[in-house]
Chain A
Amino acid sequence: MNLQVSYNWLKEYVKIDESVQDFVKEFSLRSQTIDRIHDQKPKFKKVVTAKILEINPHPNADRLRLATVDAGNGQQTVVCGASNIEVGQIVPLALEGGEVIDDQGNTFTIKKAKIRDFESSGMLCSQRELGLGVDHTGIMILPPDTKIGQDLALALGLEDDYLLDIEITSNRSDAMSVVGLARDAAAVLDKKSKITLPQPDLKSVEELPLGVEIKESTLCPRYQAVVMTDVKVGPSPLWMQLRLFQSGMRPINNLVDITNYLILEYGRPMHVFDYDKINGHKIIVRLAKRGEKILALDGKTYELQPHQLLIADEKEPLAIGGVMGGELSAATTETKTIVFECAAFDPVMIRKTARELNLHSDSSDLFEKNLHPETTFVGILRAIELTQQLAGGKVASPIIDIYAKGYKPNRIKFDIASVKRYLGVEVPEVKIKKILEALGFEISGSKVMEVTAPYWRANDVNGEHDLIEEIARTYGYHNLPTRLPSGEIPLEARDHSFDWEDQIKNLLVGLGFNEVYNYSMISAQLLEKISFKPEQCLKIDNPLNEDLVYLRPTLISHLLWDISNNLKNFSTQQIFELSNIYLPTKAKELPEEKQRLTLAMVGDDEIFLAAKGLAELMLKKLGINDYQLMLTDSQCPIWQKGLGLDIKVGKQLIGQVGIINEAITNRFDIDKPVGVVDFDFNSVVQLASTEVSYQDLPEFPAVERDLSLVLDSHVSWGEIKEVLVGIDELVVDSEFISQYQNEEVLGKHKKNYVFRIVFRSNKRTLKSQEVDEIMKKVITRLADNFAAILR
């Protein structure tokens, strides 16, 4: 949670002598992080306070009005577009040559100008135009007692202030206020605290009856209330308004402003009811009835559920407990007698209610952070004090306090030896005691102490480790030594799959492949495009949008999607991804997560052979040599018929390679064949090996003979190769060189294959005649088997 507070306000509660920069640095290192310092020196120039004397309609424009104002030196007329101004109000007037801020945050200079034929000699300003807040719905209205004709910066006391933007961690609800921050600053920076308990006059002039009944003491462990009468509702003084402005709140009237001010000052949400609107003068804290409705202060009606907490009277709901007050029981300008509520609520209930109603207020935000019941006391005292000062109210009841369980402080057994264990340095006992006591802890004993947490830390300090943190941060983490851990290094074999990942990725990059990363989540549409059934995939219960609903069981679909998206810029593409796929196992079990390495390529003239060659190169680099490639099941809808191969080692299927079925590529608007290699990377890594068996280099030269044959087009290279293997022990290899097809030259259903046969003996240099003999045999055999004709 971020809080914006005035530095000058903070200094009212803790004595700070150093510069704001030094304070911010030290405080951030030991307490809460101050993200930014905003200099409050006004961004505006030549803006003065002025009183509105007269308002007339603009003769030429319905939306504009002519305001005659007095800025202390005679009258002048300005054209104004805002609707919230009234005669008698004091407003900021930017004079000619003055500077204010536009909606982009840039300064602009006020010039005398004619607006629809009427000259305007200045401008009335909203908060945003002055850089004092975000409100720009109307002109900023200053309190009626503001002196007119004075410089606005002076009137607001802004000259030497800074706004601190502080990020307060969720466990420190005690520090989510000016007083809370000042208390922590005083303790961790060893400074003098100026915090005192509020001193209201608690003598009641008359006793007005008020009943309070708590039906849900778990959800509302403490409820304090007080009646005050003779209050005069009106605007709050400028200093209070300004502090609300600075922290992003909008002044309303003195009573509402007091409750908002308390949120900032003590981090204590309060509520104020109009006493006369509480039926039977009785407050009941109870669960809502099903469907019970309340019109809240935001003007909306909320329908409540039976697990949500209501503050009600004998007849109807008054407020949604801890979240927002009701419109009907709110204090208005006519209100004379009020009830202040200062209560504690169950944080989980508040959080659920705020979420369920989608209604988040400053109050619910604080209650969610778990405000301790002990903190209500100071809140109600301060509320009474401020009401007496600013609204002339008088106490008209005792402070009612329903506190079912009472308070038992946390006592923690603390062996100070553990300080060294965590900090790595010895901190003297005297220093430990000093630190803890400054933070409000009470200590008894020595070496092994009994430590009692102050009530404001009762929620977040529960054990020894919490005390160690307090000591460590005050001591200063930056003052602790910095050294590499000295313990032993775990004796474990590396997981080599990471190395294989690196090797394969680097190989592919070297070959010109681009690595992609797609989301693990996929849409039903993309699954269906590659003939996967979404209902067989793992589904997310609360997806962000329909593109991210299922956990993908294949990478192919995303790769086709990527190729399709890139086609307009790249006609040739080679991409790959190495990521997990997710295969549902049994219902209510974790899915099987398998690493998949998938490559896709488009734009090569011989895309099938390119993909196949790539798969084989990768297998070779992985040290997998005993694999077979065989036609995949023709029922598999992924591959173009007859152009999909299974990659197998023994009976184990470790991948596939081929051309994606044209029907699928069409669905992705890809108009060219796409070659894909799809490896089960877990299996591949298991089979991979870095072992190499060295083979002696040949001692005698090889003889090579090329052969060009015309064949029937159905004869495959595989069949020819099979014939060549073992035809003679001197034939050690055969290499395919090229193919040629031309009906006019070769005849129908014919093709021409050119290949090379390599002969070698490891005992002697071969003679030309013996090779010729074998060649004759080869040609005869090929002619017999395939009707091959020499070309």
Chain B
Amino acid sequence: MAVDPDDTGQLVRGAAGGDEIAWRGLVARFSGLVWAVARAHRLASADAADVFQTTWLRLAEHIGRIEHPERVGAWLATAARRECLQHLRTAGRTTPTDDMDRLDLTPAAGNPTEEAVLAAEKEREDADLAAVLWRAFGQLSGRCRELLRVLMATPPPSYAEVAAALGLPLGSIGPTRARCLQRLRDEMAGIRDGLTPSS
């Protein structure tokens, strides 16, 4: 029987039975989520790569023992979050530098992320909107950036997966999302009106 790529539970059961196509289906479906969890925690690139790989290796080892196959996205998000926290602890103990300013998406002057973003955006007709949006995103509080960065995964994660990724109650995701998107609009309006001092 062909595995339905949209049926997560079936993909897990298929992979547990040794079906590599089903495993590839899981990677296609959830690699964006796992990556977004790592980026949301603002890890250095090498640490984000470690988190990503360790999370998938752990799922491969546990694939036959996943209690709720249809909820494997939340399982991955939880595992990735735990790895992120461990890396943040390690970084905090061994490197006194503040990774936050260096590595997050905040478009500071000369930040290569911003340059890459801006270069890519030039080719698009909605370059202005993208630049304003990215800059506004960088001005949000850490909490809003974390939540939105997980929500920005492709394909879109479920609220249960977002909650698992950030260790937040499921019921708080919807209201927090609405509040953070409103804050984002406010920041965008501020940038457009020139009310925010430009850097």
A and B together in one complex: no
Q: Which residues of A contact B (CB under 8 A)?
A: none
B residues in contact (CB < 8 Å) with A: none
